[in-house]
Chains A and B, each alone.
Chain A
């Protein structure tokens, strides 16, 4: 199939790419646009390491054909990282040692960002529920759940 031009919003700026239909958003982000925070894990939607936000909702970018994001708003980890320092979620992961190898971290942090946007003070059960599709093989999840709890707590007490 012939390549198509797809226009969308990437981290608040207009983006336009030429890609063959069914090329995944994950591949376009990483291989065409150089946004390497978004990892490729299983390419089956089974691990969550490629999670990005599309119109604010977390989605596995490895399952999303690029033509499906035409006209939509895509946010990657680069988009939530301030020019100076870290976002509250990123800071909480750093403070709580919420990663080891780091491969799952961008996906986990995008998921946590979307969760806290939707529900600024989630219970532990709600955090665990939200993380259900994202796999971490290093940490045993405990420091990740703790970090998201801490980020929510910091936001509610206005520390950050």
Chain B
């Protein structure tokens, strides 16, 4: 009986968004009289940081600080249409819609600024700090807030924009089966180290280290949050979680939250990652999705590491101690 260590590797190629009869998201933006901007969405932030990220995207386009953007979201009674937060699509789809809406609002802003600054629209720039200025003569400058207020009180105009981004429906070719299901693909490679106790069948994950290629990162701290949290959840799916444990009968199934097996902080392995950026052609500023994929690559990496450690290859999740011990017994019997 021994504690055996092993290392496993896996790679994942993950689609951003999907295409079930067309996949649209829409956004509306308007300036308030104080010069801040409201982004209206029905999209939902699940905690991954969509609110922060779309606010950053709008701020980047409008040339204002991110805290000048108010994101009003998650109400399907009042917000413009969104298909939902799934398939790692939200930053890509909703971000595109917000970017397009912000561009239209920016045009409306610049039309007013051109009158106020007495310069052609194509000579106006923003500085990212909330100012509109004449490119060749930066002394001629106005606060975005002032332009927005004047638009409303002097010219009776709105500073607003509409954005819609849709991945059109792509039919399946009946001859070849070919279709175009996604918009772009992100990639990851994960290496896991495990220790298998051959007496108890227990597996301890020592480390999960990954390289991710996720297109342009709008917010690197949030990307890292997805990767680290996803690695833990992947480990949880690999070794612990199931609503259908293979007990002899259903009476032993978990009935509620307290009986559902999950790892806790004591099972936390070393988790680290590096992130590479290869911009996509169709995401806002080149983004790709980095959501669901983060829980995927750790699973085969852990299963492969277990095989490397003790020669037992399991293709039925979760890898419970019983499955390891049965596998070890089968190996011993075969020798």
State whether the Cβ of A129 lies closer than 8 Å to any Cβ in chain B. Answer: yes
Q: A100 contacts which chain B residues (CB < 8 A)?
A: 46-49, 225, 229
- The answer on a CB contact under 8 Å between A141 and B232 is yes
Distance between Cα atoms of A129 and B267 in the complex (Å) = 11
Q: Give A143 Cβ to nearest chain B Cβ, in Å.
A: 7
Q: Give A39 Cβ to nearest chain B Cβ, in Å.
A: 13
Residues of chain B in range 8-67 having any CB-CB distance to chain A below 8 Å? 46-49
Residue of A nearest to B225 (CB): A97
Q: Give A92 Cβ to nearest chain B Cβ, in Å.
A: 14
Q: Give B317 Cβ to nearest chain A Cβ, in Å.
A: 18
Residue of A nearest to B231 (CB): A140
Residues of chain B in range 210-256 having any CB-CB distance to chain A below 8 Å? 221-222, 224-225, 228-233, 256
Distance between Cα atoms of A124 and B264 in the complex (Å) = 14
A101-B47, A132-B266 are contacts. A142–B257 as well, Cβ < 8 Å? no
State whether the Cβ of A45 lies closer than 8 Å to any Cβ in chain B. Answer: yes
A42-B256, A97-B222, A139-B228 are contacts. A132–B48 as well, Cβ < 8 Å? no
Q: B224 contacts which chain A residues (CB < 8 A)?
A: 97
The listed residue (A97, A101, A102, A132) touching B265 by CB distance below 8 A is A132
Q: How large is the interface on A (under 10, 10 to 19, 20 to 34, 35 or more residues)?
A: 20 to 34
- The answer on a CB contact under 8 Å between A131 and B47 is no
- The answer on a CB contact under 8 Å between B233 and A140 is yes
Residues of chain A in range 118-154 having any CB-CB distance to chain B below 8 Å? 127-129, 131-132, 135, 137-145
State whether the Cβ of B172 lies closer than 8 Å to any Cβ in chain A. Answer: no
State whether the Cβ of A46 lies closer than 8 Å to any Cβ in chain B. Answer: yes
Residue of B nearest to A144 (CB): B265
- The answer on a CB contact under 8 Å between B256 and A44 is yes
Distance between Cα atoms of A128 and B271 in the complex (Å) = 15
Residues of chain B in range 108-126 having any CB-CB distance to chain A below 8 Å? none
Q: Give A79 Cβ to nearest chain B Cβ, in Å.
A: 25
State whether the Cβ of A64 lies closer than 8 Å to any Cβ in chain B. Answer: no
- The answer on a CB contact under 8 Å between A137 and B233 is yes
Distance between Cα atoms of A41 and B232 in the complex (Å) = 20
State whether the Cβ of B258 lies closer than 8 Å to any Cβ in chain A. Answer: yes
Distance between Cα atoms of A149 and B218 in the complex (Å) = 28
State whether the Cβ of B135 lies closer than 8 Å to any Cβ in chain A. Answer: no
State whether the Cβ of B268 lies closer than 8 Å to any Cβ in chain A. Answer: yes
The listed residue (A42, A45, A138, A140) touching B268 by CB distance below 8 A is A140
Distance between Cα atoms of A138 and B229 in the complex (Å) = 5
Residues of chain A in range 30-59 having any CB-CB distance to chain B below 8 Å? 41-42, 44-47
- The answer on a CB contact under 8 Å between A145 and B257 is no
- The answer on a CB contact under 8 Å between B266 and A128 is yes
State whether the Cβ of B71 lies closer than 8 Å to any Cβ in chain A. Answer: no
Q: A99 contacts which chain B residues (CB < 8 A)?
A: 47
The listed residue (A46, A102, A132, A144) touching B258 by CB distance below 8 A is A46
Distance between Cα atoms of A129 and B266 in the complex (Å) = 7
Q: B228 contacts which chain A residues (CB < 8 A)?
A: 139-140, 142-143
Q: Give A97 Cβ to nearest chain B Cβ, in Å.
A: 5
Distance between Cα atoms of A127 and B264 in the complex (Å) = 12
Residue of A nearest to B49 (CB): A100
- The answer on a CB contact under 8 Å between A145 and B268 is yes
Q: A145 contacts which chain B residues (CB < 8 A)?
A: 265, 268
Q: Give A63 Cβ to nearest chain B Cβ, in Å.
A: 11
- The answer on a CB contact under 8 Å between B256 and A141 is no
- The answer on a CB contact under 8 Å between B232 and A132 is no
User: Can you list 17 pairs linking A and B with CB atoms under 8 Å apart?
Assistant: A41-B257, A44-B256, A44-B257, A44-B258, A45-B258, A46-B257, A97-B222, A97-B224, A101-B46, A101-B47, A131-B265, A138-B225, A139-B225, A139-B228, A140-B230, A142-B268, A143-B225
Which residues from chain A sit less than 8 Å from chain B, CB to CB?
41-42, 44-47, 97, 99-102, 127-129, 131-132, 135, 137-145
